[in-house]
Amino acid sequence: MRNLLLVALVLQAVSLASPVPARATVWDDFNAKSKKLDSSKWLGDELVAGGVVSEEIQRVIAGGKLLLAHRAVGDSGSGVSGVRLVFRNASPFTSIQYDVKPISFNTADCGGPVSTASEQQFNFLFNTDSISTCPTGSPSGTTCDVFAIFYLDRVSSDPANMVRVHGRVIARPTDGGAEVILGSIAEFGLVKKGTKMNLKTTWDQGAHTVTFQQTIKKTQTTIAVDYGMAADDNGGAALNTIEVDDFICGAGGEADASATWDNINVTP
């Protein structure tokens, strides 16, 4: 009896000393009867920058899935335009996992420069004032927001009906300067339009890594990116998004992108 009591006390002490790992929870499965976006979870947003015009935008729940679609054309010059949903969360997620299916990715070029159609998921990690992380040439005192991005894109030179899948970690100066890529780019290769994928981004702050995971049916591919520094959090609210974006080469250029999302799960 004494031995059993001692074992119980030891197990209780271990459980109290070991923090329980955070578990993933459903953020949205888009199955609400109202078929409306939950305003407590999402903030809708559109972007138009440079000499482009946003022509068509869709952000709608249909068939239990979220559809985002966008088309933009070059007017007076190059630029970017897109439609997105912003997660209403104040702190960074350590993981985001979701189903995504690329539907339409088309581009028209400018006789040299190319346009790009893309789908992206931005995951804010931390803000830093490390000189080694912020791009060379940024003013002294400029900070950078560090993001992990899991994204699909297509340019005209890609094979017909195919998109490319990538993951990268970037540092983006808060003064609007040019971003830089931290570590290597995770390249997952080509995927046919209409292919359902499960994508997951996991941030290990202690190991200074972001792991990108792609699952198609029973095939799973995992690539870890070491971004090369410890987190240096200066505060500020997280900015996590799902979006489709068109990067237009210039006047006469065009791009459209559409994709569906489902079963979004997050871990604090």
The pTM for the full model equals 0.90
CATH class of the region 25-267:
mainly beta
Whole-number Å distance between alpha carbons of 207 and 231: 10
In a structure prediction context, what are the per-residue pLDDT tens digits for the chain, which is 268 residues long?
555 555 454 455 545 555 566 899 999 999 988 899 999 999 999 999 999 999 999 999 999 999 999 999 999 999 999 999 999 998 899 999 999 999 999 999 998 999 999 999 999 999 888 766 677 767 777 888 999 999 999 999 999 999 999 999 999 988 888 899 999 999 999 999 999 999 999 999 999 999 999 999 999 999 999 998 777 777 667 899 999 999 999 999 999 999 999 999 999 9
Q: How far is CA 81 from the centre of its chain?
A: 16
Which residue ranges make up each domain of the chain? 25-267
Cα separations in angstroms, 134 against 146, 166, 168: 9, 22, 16
d(CA 29, CA 264): 6
Report how far residue 257's alpha carbon sits from residue 243's, in angstroms, rounded to the nearest whole number. 10
Amino acid at site 58: Q
Query: Closest Cα partner for 230 from 124, 130, 90, 94?
Result: 130
Is residue 11 within a helix (H) or strand (E), and if so which, with residue range? Answer: helix 2-17
